Structure 1
Amino acid sequence: MTVKVLVAYGTTNGSTAQIAEAVAAAMRKRGLDAEALPAGSVERVTPYDAVVAGGGLYGGHWHKDARRLLRRHRRELAERPLWLFSSGPLDPSASERDIPPVPYVKRAMDRLDAEGHVTFGGRLQEGAKGWIARMILKNGKGGDFRDFGQIENWAGTVAESLASRAEAVPERGRP
């Protein structure tokens, strides 16, 4: 049986969407049925065996669409394997060390019994939306700090965990 995974994301300028697409692609490469969707468009999580939810970080807060997804579907999310990711540091720190989740994400992890969390570097380039983003760019602090090798490795670890669960409990049909 193929494990079906939702990779939902909240993004403002598209960087987190590209990370989510990379996560889904890495999972498909490992035999899972994974699709990336904007968190605001997710009506149900019940068709999925597992969920990965990600949000861009803005001023120390997870993207509102990602937060809403966790609140709206909290019961269903608590019943299936869940991993979370954040994107945002505009420096190489996310590739150099583990960055803990922001407080909201940490509370959500505890409430939903999430399997894990990772923070990936972010991207902020000319044309970004928002006054703060424009100020950051004006001060020369933009750039692309995403590490797609790190993203693929993390997604591979999640995929391996789900595949081994599916093999261990085939009668339930859920990892």
Structure 2
Amino acid sequence: MRVLVSAASKHGATREIAALIAATLNHAGFDCDHIDPADIANAGHYDAVVIGSAVYLGQWLPEARDLVDRITTQLQDTHVWLFSSGLADAPSKDANATPATAARMAALQAKGHRHFPGKLDVLELSLAERAAILAARGKYGDNRDMDAVKAWAEQIAAALAQEPARTA
């Protein structure tokens, strides 16, 4: 079974989450490709797709939103999961329950969406980003729980193991 994992990441932390998901799925025996959103032209030949994005100001990054727009019609009968990575505080988790996330899930007929706390390095942020993070009461530092990411990827692997591969 072929699986695509892709995530939009501004500073690399969400890309690292996607890499762990891909590695976990590969380890579980799936043929998994980890590709940046801008490098995906066709996702129709995958049996499953995991798409994620860093969240800034309550929104997925444009690269992830564009990817979803480009490939939604290609993913008929494809198993899809979504994830977000952002602030560790409640406001960010609430922001990930936006109508936009619900609309993405409906358009892709996604099996689920998972929010993971993110990583904030003050040295990588612009002054405007720092102000927005401060206003949202974000926590600086690496708040990612990579064990939780791996456990979620293992749940995806278990679900896929019970499904037949898609016929082309």
TM-score, with length taken from structure 1:
0.83
Q: Is the 8 Å Cα contact of residues 90 and 142 (structure 1) preserved in structure 2?
A: no
Distance 1:142 1:103 in 2: 27
Q: CA deviation at 1:88?
A: 0.2
Percent sequence identity is 35
Q: Deviations over 1:123-149 (max 9, x none)?
A: 011431433333448x98311111011
CA distance in 1 between partners of 2:139 and 2:161 (Å): 40
Aligned pairs (5 A) from 1:8-157:
8-91=6-89, 101-135=97-131, 136=133, 141-157=139-155
In structure 1, the residue corresponding to 2:19 is in which secondary structure? helix
What secondary structure does 2:144 align onto?
coil
Deviation at 1:104, TM superposition (A): 1.2
28-37 or 49-58, which moves further after superposition? 28-37
Please give the secondary structure, in 1, of the residue aligned with 2:32: strand
* 1:11-52 Cα deviation digits (max 9, x unpaired): 101011000000001111111111211111111102211100
Compute the displacement of 1:98 (Å): 9.5
Compared CA separation, residues 102 and 15, structure 1 to 2 (3 A)? farther
Extract unaligned runs of 5+ from structure 2. Answer: none
Letter in 2 for 1:124: L
After TM superposition, the structure 1 stretch with the greater mean CA deviation from structure 2, 21-30 or 41-50, is 41-50
| 8 Å contact kept, 1:8–1:37 | yes
SS of the aligned residue for 1:105 comes to: helix
Length, aligned pairs only: 164
Q: Report the CA distance between 1:73 and its aligned residue.
A: 0.9
The secondary structure found in structure 2 opposite 1:149 is helix
Q: Runs of 4+ in structure 1 displaced over 4 angstroms?
A: 97-100
CA contact (8 A) 1:57 1:88 kept: yes
Instruction: For structure 1, list consecutive stretches of 5 or more residues without a partner in the other structure.
Output: none
- TM-score, length of structure 2 as denominator length: 0.87
Q: CA RMSD in A?
A: 2.5
CA distance in 2, matches of 1:78, 1:103: 22
